[in-house]
């Protein structure tokens, strides 16, 4: 049976004065995800305007996504990225078909 990929969609707000830190922290966050998150496939960051961003993260399975959520900001690169976010506007997961 073919397994579908899980797509995590997180919309965040970043204040203009935090945007530089947010973007500078992104490579470290991705490196930490690759090193520490089983099932992490990749991610894209989309600037929406008005200080909002959409982070699109692909996971091999819902179980991998859930395990990542439990770890939170457990590594420095992930923590730096999360700390630059002023507000999580929305978060949801979906299945790529």
Could you tell me how many residues make up the chain?
97
The mean per-residue pLDDT over the stretch 7-13 comes to 98
Every domain of the chain and the residues it spans:
6-95
Residue 44's pLDDT band, with cuts at 50, 70 and 90, is very high
Residue 58 has pLDDT above 70, yes or no: yes
Share of the chain above pLDDT 70, in %: 97
Which residues are CB-contacts of 17 (< 8 A; sequence separation ≥ 6)?
none
Q: For strand 52-59 and strand 40-49, is the pairing parallel, antiparallel, or unpaired? A: antiparallel
* Residues forming a β-bridge with 46: 54
HSE of 28, CA atoms in CB hemisphere, 13 A: 17
CA–CA gap between residue 22 and residue 82 (Å, rounded): 8
pLDDT value of position 4: 83
Is 90 exceeded by the pLDDT of residue 1?
A: no
Q: How confident is the model at residue 76 (pLDDT cuts 50, 70, 90)?
A: very high
Topology of the domain covering 6-95: Alpha-Beta Plaits (3.30.70)
pLDDT of residue 60: 96
- The DSSP 8-state label assigned to residue 88 in this structure reads E
């Amino acid at each position: 049976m073919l397994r579908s990929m899980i797509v995590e969609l997180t919309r965040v707000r970043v204040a203009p004065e935090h945007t530089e830190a947010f973007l500078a922290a992104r490579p470290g966050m991705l490196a930490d995800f690759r090193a520490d998150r089983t099932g992490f496939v990749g991610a894209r960051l989309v600037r929406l305007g008005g200080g909002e961003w959409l982070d699109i993260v692909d996971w091999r399975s819902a179980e991998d996504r859930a395990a990542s959520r439990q770890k939170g900001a457990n590594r420095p690169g992930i923590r730096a990225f999360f700390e630059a976010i002023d507000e999580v506007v929305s978060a949801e997961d979906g299945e790529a078909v």
